[in-house]
Amino acid sequence: MNRTTTTLADGRELHYYDGASRVRRPAPDQRPLEQVGARSELRFDPVLEEWVIVAGHRQGRTHRPSAGDCPLCPSGEGRLTEVPADDYDVVVFENRFPALSGREPGLATGPTPSGPVPPVVLDGSRPGVGRCEVVCFTPEHDVAFADLSRSQAELVVDAWRDRTEALSADPSVEQVFCFENHGVDIGVTLEHPHGQIYGYPFVTPRTRQAMASAEGYHQRTGRNLFDDVLARERADASRVVLESAEWTAFVPHAARWPFEIHLYPNHRVRDLAHLSDAQAKDLAGVSLDVMGRFERLFDGPSAYVAGWHQTPTRAGDDDMALHLEVFTVRRAADKLKYLAGSESGMGAFTNDVVPEEAARRLRAAA
């Protein structure tokens, strides 16, 4: 893999990831862009002890342009996009409309995002310092992740690993989250095949809860929670969707979504940057397999969210573990899974599909 770094007209970074045989000379960004001036803010919710990102500048972001106006396609004659080159393999760049954007010092009140919560904090706020990046999987506009070649998927995995390592070294980043929103039903605003990477300045609520559960489990049993979950699923096998030399994909015992797959490495690691070369190479093929099953599940357009859960950058290695969670918002070919009051208001999910039946159908979608 070759990485070539350049700068866009407004000062944002862009990284080309090419195959080992490709030597790139970055084309300059010809657009007359002003320097990035977006600002976001973190506001503290004292009831749930959670940080909320406030980013009013994102209301004006690009919304479902035509294929001819896609900002993620390569630049061409008469059309300048976010990617100055006329071709690319995989490219990663800073989001033009980032949720986390502030890099200048500003007034901060209340707890630090990753520190302990003081006794009384009712209206804490801080600058929204962090990082938001876009990952373009391919220059082709009308394909999905599942349509990538094996070599293209390997480059995407290499980009995830590289960016996880780079962002983890940023002192403002507490957690790195690589994810993909795919399909109109999910609410994607750009249909070009792409994902995103967030470098949060705090540990997210979902991860804090998972780490607390894993720590409590270790105190009670002396074992790792994620190791035991994987061992149970492999031993039971009723919910296993696929197994490879390095990875196991399964529908979780208490799946919240009608069709949901969790993907674990067979040997635990803390994050994508710590994958062995064998794990990373195998992951490319397994990812294509998993995403392809969602594409074929209903014989129609797919809609899913795929997110990598990683150990926070400054946490120990003992309890948390890298894993991928993928779910679709479809519960049938002609029905969506809407979050009703119980789910969206209380976080108490009701699943309309028995997990073992979901696993059977996902195995059949090979």
Question: pLDDT tens across 142-194, in order?
Answer: 999 999 999 999 999 999 999 999 999 999 899 999 999 999 898 899 999 99
- Residue 57 labelled as part of a binding site: no
pLDDT on residue 302: 82
- Residue 141 labelled as part of a binding site: yes
pLDDT band at 120 (very low <50, low <70, confident <90, very high): low
| pTM score of the predicted model | 0.94
The catalytic site residues sit at: 194
% pLDDT > 90, the chain:
79
Structure tokens at 290: 């998993």
Over range 301-324, report the average pLDDT: 91
Question: pLDDT tens across 71-94, in order?
Answer: 999 999 999 999 999 999 999 999
Q: Which residue has the tokens 């795929």?
A: 306
Give the CA count within 13 Å in the CB-facing half-sphere of 53.
Answer: 23
Q: Please check whether residue 284 is in contact with residue 153, taking contact to mean a CB–CB distance below 8 angstroms.
A: yes
Q: End-to-end CA distance of the chain: give it in Å, rounded.
A: 29
pLDDT at 34 over 70: yes
pLDDT on residue 273: 98
Residue type, 349: F
Closest CA to 292 of 238, 363, 344: 363
% pLDDT > 70, the chain:
94
- Residue 136 labelled as part of a binding site: no
pLDDT band at 106 (very low <50, low <70, confident <90, very high): very low
- Residue 132 labelled as part of a binding site: no
Domains of the chain: 2-203 (3.30.428.10), 206-364 (3.30.428.10)
For the chain, the average pLDDT equals 92
pLDDT at 301 over 80: no
pLDDT at 257 over 80: yes
Concatenate the DSSP letters of all residues of 172-209 into one string: T-SEEEEEEEESGGGT-S--SSEEEEEEESS--HHHHH
Residue type, 274: H
